[in-house]
Structure 1
Amino acid sequence: MSRRSGGLIGVWAEQQRVAQRQREGQHQAVLRQQRDEERVQRAYERDVARMQREQRAAYRQQRDADALRRTQELDARVAALEGLLAAGCRAPAFSVASLRRTEDVEAFAPGPLAEPVPMPDQRFYQPQGGAWTASGRAQAERDARARFERDWYAAQAAEARRVEQLAAYRREYETWAAARLAEIRSHNAGIAGTEAALRAGEAATVVEFFSAVLFASTAWPEGFPREVSAAYERGGRGLVLDWDLPGYEVVPEARGVKYLPSTDQEKEVPRPVTQRRALYRDVLAQSVLLAARELFVADRFGALEQVALNGYVDGVDPATGLPARVCLASVVVGREAFERLNLEFVGAVECLTGALDGRLSAKPDERVAVPPMVTPDQVGSDVVVQGDGEEPDLLAMDPIAFEGLVAELFRARGLQALTTRRSNDGGVDVEALDPDPISGGSILVQVKRYRNTVPPSAVRDLYGTVQGAGANKGVLVTTSKFGPGSYTFANGKPLTLISGTELVDLLHQHGLRGRLGSGSPAAPAAAAAVPAPAEADADFNLLGMDWSGAAALDVCALVCSGNRVLGDEWFVFFNNPSTPDGSVSMVAAPAGDRAAVRVGFDALPDRADRLVLVAAVDPEVNPDADLGGFTDAGIRLRDDSGVELDRLVVSDGRPGETALVLGSFRRRSGGDWDFVLGGKGYRGGLEELVGDFGIQVG
């Protein structure tokens, strides 16, 4: 007889079976999860591998595209060189007529002054309030009438002021318009004089005009030199020129660029030497023919019957091993023979050496010279040679030649520079390009042949032109000088101001000629900056300034009568380091100070009763800084030997402000000077601050 299992043992056994099934299920779930994760991982790895392949393919395509782009750029450069003469023949010819200005004067535009002041309408002046009595209603009517009369008289007064201001503005406009029209007519009269001089064969005018023709031509590619010296033989109406030709490097050494995936590098494919030499020789021939074409086409006055042109390059003379200008091409051609040529279809080398019987170096890449057929100094003693003899007076120089000289200065400094055409140039006289990939860019240059100080409005107008054209920088060159208002406006902006003395100094530094006026050549700017001596017996003090904070600051001084500076030249700052009499000057800061001003209080003019010291953030060094960190500031008052006499505490700066009046020394009735703490801050920087003291900025 059997017995059924039961009790605790049976329950336990059943629990074990259930637990086993659960463990098996959990194990299976873990296995399934692992398989799922493995599938996801494998899919991810496949995606990553595919993405990497695609990225590698895209990277290679990008590198191949970059190599192709560089190759295309090389091909384009070569194509431009091969078609230099044909393209130049299609360029418009230089014309004196293009220098003429139309007698267009901006119309009178009074703006809001043209609108009469609206008069009040009595219908809108009704009694106010709900008076019940007759006297109350009468009072309300009187009040309404009084309001109307008050507003009517105010409007009448405003209208009278408007009419007066409009008349004054019209008088100013008419004065300006008359001056503008006179300037245009004077300019056009000068152009007419130039035409007459060209027809008469005046040597100086002929040389300057045809030099300007080559300078201003749009036919030359960027990077080609544009330097010329010329002479004119009036009897035979022959122009002889030495013209700079491009160097061997103008022809790209590489034929193309390839990307090598194995090394992940680009490799330049060299251009065959024979091909490069042949192309360079052809470019030289094209350049000579094109220069001759530019001269003959621009001659509409019968000034040229013959042109002799010698092409030079700078380099090492292989005969001596010394730096020299080497003549690589020379030709003498008459107008009649030249006009028979169809330059767009000639072979340049064959035309130059065959049809024109000119000379061309057989190995110009090695600078093997040819003898010039005739040189400027061989055409006669009465010939004017540009750049010979006495230095030219910049104030008396022909405007075209002066602009050409400024362009030549920029080229001498390593920039590419062209004079602009005279129509629709926006007031820009020279366009320059700085090839530096970091600090370079497009530069617009205006040239002002003034004798008086250039007004700040000219600087403001240049800034507007730079912004409108999207240029990187503007340069204003003058034969005179700039006032503090101009320098203050230009501070922190992409503008450079070059005064007459600075211009002469730059010309001399780069081997160019120029002087100001009929006297001896002007001294360099550094010498011109030395102030005239103050009174010999005047005692001087040194004002040394120190402060905490990292912002770069400009410390300036204003010699004032009350709250007005005596004049632009009495504003002492970075571009005007001294007053005319030398009584106040910027000097090197002694140890422990960050700026210093030297002052002879007894030497200040009698009309000066105040010396104001100011500080402003240098916007070029710290364009985003303010005076929030300008703290612990003070002025150390020293005698001229450097012994400290006192320390004057000045106010701290405030966030958001970029200029601050530190304080002022004021003359008292007995002749002594006291220091008065400043503290007025300006958010508009030095420009706003000096405007408060009467200096015109912009």
Structure 2
Amino acid sequence: MNTDLASDFADIDGLLAWTLGIDDYVDLESLKISKVQHPPFMPGGLAVPTPKVAEPNYPPEPVYQAPTTPSGLSAMFGGKKRHQQAIEATQAAFENAHRDWERIRDDLRAGCIKKVALREKLEAKRAAGLTAAENKYKQECEKREAEASAHNAKVAKLINDLAFDVESAIQEYVGIVLSNSVYPEVFPVEHDYAFNLASRELVLTVSVPEPSAVPSVKGYRYVKTKDEIASTALPVREKKERYANAAWQVAVRSLHEVFEADRAGKIHSIALTVNVNTVDPATGRPITVPLVVVAADRETFNSFDLSKVVPQATLQHLGAAMSKSPFDLVPADTGRGIRVRGQ
């Protein structure tokens, strides 16, 4: 718990330092899709042919074997008559056996024909399903390719428009830059912006969390006598200082990220407001409280060594209107123009 708490404090205290080690410039060419990744075709059971029907296992066909012809004494005394009777009996038995064999053969053959017909039906269904799956996969691949081409065309247009100072392209690039600005979960921010080509000024609003986002616990300890985890409250002064410093850092960081990302110098100045959305305790209605309002020109700001600055002092140097107590949601005094302050 204390480790997580320390990590949250470090994240809030290092909002500006975190971005200084990162080049905020976005190479738009890198946003193009050079190769579309397609998932492998997975037909499953459709890829397995229906097993062929095995040939019937026919019983051996009966063979007629004539009785042995009597000879010598056996042919005498009625032997020929008995032999003829044996022939007739053997012939009858053979014919019966052969009829039985033919019936069995025909039944097996008919069964085989039915199985073959069923197999052909199943195989045709499988083949049709496989073809449909292949066509669907092909269409999905073609769709991905088309989407990639459309995406690349859009990026190419953005690059071209940016080169020719198209206002909407410059604003879109700013949006890409700000979307890459990652803040810690404990202190998320939201950006709103608009660029005016005539003045070359970006109007940027950054909304920060309410003061309750700052942890109010200094640390945790185990109380053995009560078998429980107890917390130590963070001093109010420390909470106020941390929240105010976070607001100052967000302001300086936001100016830095935009100016650093704008290598081509499209943006000459930034009019920045850092505010917090909250609820007015007097009315219960949502309100927006400005904590920092500042204007900075590119040349002046880029002359600063941000690795050594104190954010509050930097904003004061720029003539910013600053809340006297951000933690208490005291709004910045914007009665006198911030550009006048900076002169």
TM-score (norm. length: structure 2): 0.67
In structure 1, what residue type is equivalent to 2:126? R
How much does 1:173 deviate? 3.8
Q: Structure 1 92/147 Cα, relative in aligned 2: closer, same or farther at 3 Å? A: farther
| CA–CA distance in structure 2, aligned partners of residues 176 and 324 of structure 1 | 48
Aligned match of 1:162? 126
Per-residue CA deviations over 1:380-399 (Å, capped at 9, x if unaligned) read: xxxxxxxxxxxxxxxxxxxx
Contact 1:214–1:226, Cα closer than 8 Å, also in 2: no
**What letter is aligned with 1:76?**
S
Q: Which has the higher contact order (CA 8 A, sep 6+)?
A: 2
1:87 alignment partner in structure 2? 18
> Deviations along 1:86-132, whole A, 9 cap, x unmatched?
2233467484567655533444443333333332343xx22148968
Instruction: Provide the rounded CA distance (Å) in 2 between the counterparts of 1:264 and 1:303.
Output: 62
Give, in whole Å, the separation in 2 of the partners of 1:178 and 1:196.
27
Where does residue 117 of structure 1 map in the other structure?
A: 50
Paired residue for 2:240? 277
**Deviation of 1:260 (Å):** 6.6
Q: Distance in 2 between matches of 1:257 and 1:109?
A: 53
- 2-structure distance, mates of 1:273, 1:259: 23
Percent sequence identity is: 26
Q: Per the alignment, do residues 119 and 301 of structure 1 end up closer, same or farther by CA in structure 2, a change over 3 Å counting?
A: farther
Instruction: Name the amino acid aligned to 1:115.
Output: V
Are the equivalent residues in 2 in contact too, given 1:330–1:360 (CA < 8 A)?
Answer: yes
- Maintained 8 Å contact 1:245/1:312: yes
Following superposition of structure 1 onto structure 2, how do residues 188-199 of structure 1 map, counting pairs within 5 Å?
A: 188-199=152-163
Residues 527-560 of structure 1: CA distance to partner in whole angstroms, max 9, x if unpaired?
A: xxxxxxxxxxxxxxxxxxxxxxxxxxxxxxxxxx
Inter-partner Cα distance in structure 1 for 2:300 and 2:171: 22
| Residue 80 (structure 1) shift | 1.8
Contact 2:8–2:186 under 8 Å retained in 1: no
- Shift of the 194–120 alpha-carbon distance from structure 1 to 2, 3 Å rule, reads same
Contact 1:330 1:358 in 2 (8 A): yes
Distance 2:221 2:162 in 1: 55
| Partners of 2:293 and 2:332 within 8 A in 1 | no
Partner of 1:203: 167
Q: Which amino acid aligns with 1:235?
A: A
Q: Map of 1:236-247 to 2, 5 A cutoff?
A: 236-247=199-210
1:459-608 equivalences under 5 Å are none
Aligned residue in 1 for 2:338: 373
C-alpha distance in 1 between matches for 2:108 and 2:200: 90
Distance of 1:267 and 1:157 partners within structure 2: 74
Q: 1:233 aligns with which of 166, 188, 196?
A: 196
Shift of 1:166: 3.2
Q: For residues 261 and 110 of structure 1, what CA distance do their matches in structure 2 show?
A: 61
Contact 1:129 1:140 in 2 (8 A): no
Q: Which residue of 1 aligns with 2:6?
A: 75
The alignment's C-alpha RMSD in Å is: 4.0
Query: CA offsets, 1:389-428, max 9 Å, x none?
Result: xxxxxxxxxxxxxxxxxxxxxxxxxxxxxxxxxxxxxxxx
- 1:431-462 residue CA offsets vs partner (Å, 9 max, x unmatched): xxxxxxxxxxxxxxxxxxxxxxxxxxxxxxxx
- Is the contact between residue 94 and residue 298 of structure 1 (CA under 8 Å) also seen in structure 2? yes
Deviations along 1:24-58, one digit per CA (max 9) or x if unpaired, are xxxxxxxxxxxxxxxxxxxxxxxxxxxxxxxxxxx
- The answer to whether structure 1 residue 364 and structure 2 residue 339 are counterparts is no
CA distance in 1, matches of 2:225, 2:130: 78
Which residue identity is paired with 1:325?
T
1:417-496 → structure 2 map (5 Å cutoff): none
Any conservation in 2 of the 1:198–1:301 contact (CA below 8 Å)? no
Matches within 5 A, 1:36-51: none
Q: How far, CA to CA, are the matches of 1:203 and 1:83 in structure 2?
A: 33
Among residues 176, 181, 186, which one is paired with 2:145 in the alignment?
181
Q: In structure 2, how many angstroms separate the alpha carbons of the residues matched to 1:266 and 1:157?
A: 71
**Residue 468 (structure 1) aligns with:** none
Hey, what's the Cα distance between the residues in 1 that align with 2:122 and 2:279?
78
> d(CA) in 1 for partners of 2:276 and 2:7?
24
Q: Which residue of 2 is the match for residue 590 of structure 1?
A: none
Partner of 1:328: 291
TM-score (normalizing by structure 1): 0.36
Counterpart amino acid of residue 89 in structure 1: L
Question: Aligned equivalents of 1:316 and 1:166: distance in 2?
Answer: 60
Query: Using the alignment, how far apart are the partners of 2:30 and 2:134 within structure 1?
Result: 32
Cα displacement string for residues 473-502 of structure 1 (whole angstroms, at most 9, x for unaligned residues): xxxxxxxxxxxxxxxxxxxxxxxxxxxxxx
- Counterpart Cα distance in 2 of 1:154 and 1:168: 21
Residue 198 of structure 2 aligns to a residue whose secondary structure is coil
More helix by proportion, 1 or 2?
Answer: 2
- Unaligned stretches of 5+ in structure 1? 1-68, 375-698
Secondary structure in 2 matching 1:118: coil
Secondary structure in 2 matching 1:243: strand
Deviations 1:58-77 (A, max 9, x none): xxxxxxxxxxx3x5544332
* Residue of structure 2 in register with 1:313 after alignment: 276
Check conservation: 2:278, 2:288, Cα contact below 8 A.
Answer: yes
CA distance in 2 between counterparts of 1:312 and 1:213 reads: 20
CA contact under 8 A between 1:231 and 1:241: conserved in structure 2? yes
* CA apart distance, 1:79: 2.0
Residues 278-297 of structure 1 deviation map (CA, whole Å, 9 limit, x = unaligned): 33332122111222233234
Q: SS state of the match for residue 119, structure 1?
A: coil
Q: 1: distance between equivalents of 2:230 and 2:124? A: 80
Contact 2:220 2:229 in 1 (8 A): yes
Q: String of CA shifts for 1:325-350, please: whole Å, max 9, x gaps.
A: 34332333344554455545543333
Flag the structure with higher strand content: 1
How has the CA–CA distance of structure 1 residues 225 and 129 changed in structure 2, closer, same or farther, with 3 Å as cutoff? same
SS of residue paired to 2:190: coil
With over 3 angstroms needed to count, the CA separation of the structure-2 counterparts of 1:131 and 1:309, relative to structure 1, is same
* Cα contact 1:127–1:143 (8 A) shared by 2: no
Letter in 1 for 2:134: R
Which is higher, the Rg of structure 1 or of structure 2?
2
How far the C-alpha of 1:163 sits from its partner, in A, is 3.3
> Contact 1:314/1:324 (CA < 8 Å) preserved in 2?
yes
Q: Quick one: distance in 1 between partners of 2:222 and 2:133?
A: 68
Q: Is the 8 A contact 1:127 1:141 kept in 2?
A: yes
Q: 1:335 to 1:109 in 2, by over 3 A?
A: same
Counterpart of 1:353 in structure 2 is 316
* Structure 1 CA distance for aligned equivalents of residues 208 and 233 of structure 2: 24
Which of 188, 204, 207 is residue 224 of structure 1 equivalent to?
Answer: 188
